[in-house]
């Protein structure tokens, strides 16, 4: 670059050249990102709407319904945490108020049976009001202190629902059962939409899908307006936002109220779907999963919240069944190998080398130590699992060996990540992948509940290390 060029925007001028160098996949992603979100979203929703027509498996439709429910909750939480930047750990309380409130308005608990539209609108209003009230501490507290206070509210809610089945009211002689205590409220009215009573999983899936679409549109419109800009400004620098005339306190309360209203709507639909609500439905474990979804997808990003909800609902379910779990594992390992190792042919060579190693080890073991070999701990007769089990060898105390090798594999992976010489890493990866397959077959595939948690933990740790702003988030710059 000669002296004349300094100051001129070389970077922008070469943008086209850089874009061309990104490769086909990168270019496709760019086109997707630049497309009209309504068009892309519309197509995805149309595809999703076809789901109940494509499968009659209620289990799958139920999972899809859960994805929509968590998507709604993640969107609502995204408004409070992602847009306004307020750390709210009491979000489950709003979900619970929506659920219990709807239960009290449309069941035999008090004999009130409000029609569906009325009940839903009332609950959205009530939870929005609750959001305003809970948001009042946010005006004076920030960060960790706000987190503690809101967490307190969440615990209070669970405590109240657990104990308010024997409340002494001044005007009644016997204690009144308000929330049903640990047994919750049962026999809640199902939703009535346009005169039809919804009782099937597919019906509730459509209601949740419609609610998700509606909330997405509403939030996107708010995002592109003066309120959205003001929320982002207040998240960046609250003092500067206030100095520029934005009513910071009102905006914070608005964020709380809108987040709460979305949770209330979800809670009401949830209550009608399950036809029962218990205090355990709204505990802290769910809140942590929800936060993981929002952070994974990217704080402040609408498609991110839905993507996070999708991933963290679907992957644990996929890991439940042995076939799908294997598919996920082997497919994931192969895909990562081919994606991350460049040039591509080296990835292919690596996989072939691992296969060869497996066969070689099996040959040697069968020749010399065939007596001490046994069967797989969790034998599978068909599919990918059967192939893998025939490729590997299993010593007699497979469980013990598996445990030991688990630790060794983690050590190897950590060592590989620290090495600099690519040939050394390549060489070390071959036995590592083989041992990883062995550990999977002996220990992880045999205990799916443990594996699910391990997998989730690994995904979250990897993502937060290599992409801390989440899948769809933009890397944020702090004061520089």
Binding site for other proteins (CB under 8 A): 9, 12, 218, 221-222, 224-227, 229-230, 232-233, 236-237, 239-248, 254, 474, 476-480
Buried b (16+ CB within 10 A) or exposed e, 265-289: bbbbbbbbbbebbbbebbbeebbeb
Kindly tell me the number of DSSP H helices and DSSP E strands found in the chain: 21, 2
CB nearer to other proteins: give 14 or 280: 14
Q: At what angle do helices 143-163 and 91-105 cross, to 10 degrees?
A: 30
Buried b (16+ CB within 10 A) or exposed e, 336-352: ebeeebeeeeebeebbe
CA atoms within 13 A on the CB side of 480: 3
> In the numeric block, which tokens belong to residue 41?
């979203």
CB nearer to other proteins: give 235 or 326: 235
Q: Calculate the alpha carbon distances from 459 to 172, 296, 398 in Å.
A: 55, 9, 27
Cross-strand bridge partners of residue 188: 107
> In the numeric block, which tokens belong to residue 410?
């983690």
Closest distance of CB 224 from other proteins, Å: 8
Closest distance of CB 22 from other proteins, Å: 20
> In the numeric block, which tokens belong to residue 97?
């108020």
Closest distance of CB 93 from other proteins, Å: 23
Closest distance of CB 365 from other proteins, Å: 57
CB nearer to other proteins: give 192 or 469: 469
Closest distance of CB 246 from other proteins, Å: 5
Closest distance of CB 202 from other proteins, Å: 29
- State the Cα–Cα distance between residues 30 and 346, nearest whole angstrom: 27
Closest distance of CB 86 from other proteins, Å: 17
- State the Cα–Cα distance between residues 362 and 365, nearest whole angstrom: 5
Q: 466 and 429 in contact (C-beta within 8 Å)?
A: no
CB nearer to other proteins: give 390 or 476: 476
CB nearer to other proteins: give 240 or 410: 240
Closest distance of CB 138 from other proteins, Å: 16
CB nearer to other proteins: give 32 or 479: 479
3-state secondary structure of 164: coil
CB nearer to other proteins: give 244 or 407: 244
Reference 308, options 65, 82, 470, 69; nearest CA is 470
CB nearer to other proteins: give 233 or 365: 233
Closest distance of CB 245 from other proteins, Å: 3
Cross-strand bridge partners of residue 419: none
Closest distance of CB 12 from other proteins, Å: 6
CB nearer to other proteins: give 11 or 345: 11
Place of tokens 């218990």: 278
Q: At what angle do helices 201-223 and 37-49 cross, to 10 degrees?
A: 170
CB nearer to other proteins: give 247 or 422: 247
Q: 300 and 473 in contact (C-beta within 8 Å)?
A: yes
Reference 80, options 69, 96, 93; nearest CA is 93
> In the numeric block, which tokens belong to residue 470?
């989440």
CB nearer to other proteins: give 159 or 214: 214
Closest distance of CB 310 from other proteins, Å: 25
CB nearer to other proteins: give 236 or 283: 236
Question: At CA 429, angle to CA 424 and CA 434, rounded to 5?
Answer: 150
- State the Cα–Cα distance between residues 90 and 277, nearest whole angstrom: 18
Closest distance of CB 239 from other proteins, Å: 7
Neighbouring C-beta atoms of residue 77, cutoff 10 Å: 26
Residue 433 exposed, middle or buried by CB count within 10 Å (0-12, 13-18, 19+): buried
């Amino acid at each position: 670059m000669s002296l004349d060029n300094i100051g001129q925007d070389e970077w922008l001028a070469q943008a086209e050249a850089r874009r061309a160098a990104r490769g086909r996949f990168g270019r496709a992603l760019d086109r997707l990102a630049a497309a009209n979100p309504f068009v892309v979203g519309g197509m995805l929703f149309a595809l999703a709407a076809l789901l109940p027509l494509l499968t009659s498996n209620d289990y799958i439709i139920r999972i899809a319904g859960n994805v929509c429910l968590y998507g709604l909750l993640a969107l609502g939480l995204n408004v409070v945490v992602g847009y306004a930047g307020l750390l709210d750990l009491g979000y489950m309380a709003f979900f619970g108020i929506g659920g219990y409130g709807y239960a009290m308005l449309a069941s035999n608990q008090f004999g009130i049976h409000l029609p569906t539209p009325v009940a839903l609108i009332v609950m959205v209003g009530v939870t929005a009001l609750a959001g305003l009230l809970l948001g009042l501490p946010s005006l004076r507290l920030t960060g960790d202190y706000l987190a503690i206070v809101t967490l307190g509210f969440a615990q209070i809610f669970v405590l109240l629902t657990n104990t308010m089945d024997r409340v002494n009211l001044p005007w009644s002689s016997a204690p009144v059962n308000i929330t049903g205590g640990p047994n919750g409220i049962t026999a809640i009215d199902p939703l009535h939409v346009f005169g039809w009573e919804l009782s099937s999983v597919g019906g509730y899936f459509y209601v949740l899908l419609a609610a998700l679409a509606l909330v997405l549109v509403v939030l996107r419109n708010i995002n592109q307006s003066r309120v959205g800009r003001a929320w982002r400004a207040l998240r960046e620098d609250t003092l500067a936002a206030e100095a520029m005339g934005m009513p910071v306190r009102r905006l914070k309360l608005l964020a709380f109220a809108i987040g709460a209203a979305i949770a209330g709507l979800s809670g009401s639909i949830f209550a009608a779907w399950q036809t029962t609500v218990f205090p355990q439905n709204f505990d802290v474990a769910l809140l942590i999963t929800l936060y993981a979804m929002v952070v994974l997808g990217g704080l402040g990003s609408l498609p991110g919240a839905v993507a996070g909800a999708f991933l963290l609902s679907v992957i644990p379910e996929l890991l439940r069944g042995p076939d799908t779990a294997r598919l996920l594992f082997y497919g994931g390992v192969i895909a990562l190998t081919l994606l991350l190792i460049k040039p591509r042919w080296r990835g292919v060579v690596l996989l072939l080398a691992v296969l060869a190693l497996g066969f070689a080890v099996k040959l040697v073991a069968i020749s010399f130590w065939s007596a001490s070999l046994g069967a797989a701990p969790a034998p599978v007769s068909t599919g990918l699992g059967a192939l893998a089990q025939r490729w590997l060898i299993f010593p007699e105390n497979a469980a013990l060996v598996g445990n030991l090798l688990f630790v060794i594999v983690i050590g190897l992976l950590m060592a590989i990540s620290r090495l600099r010489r690519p040939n050394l890493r390549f060489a070390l990866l071959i036995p590592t992948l083989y041992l990883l397959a062995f550990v999977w077959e002996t220990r992880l595939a045999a205990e799916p509940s443990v594996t699910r948690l391990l997998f989730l933990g690994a995904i979250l740790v990897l993502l937060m290390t290599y992409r801390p702003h989440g899948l769809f988030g933009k890397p944020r710059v702090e004061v520089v």
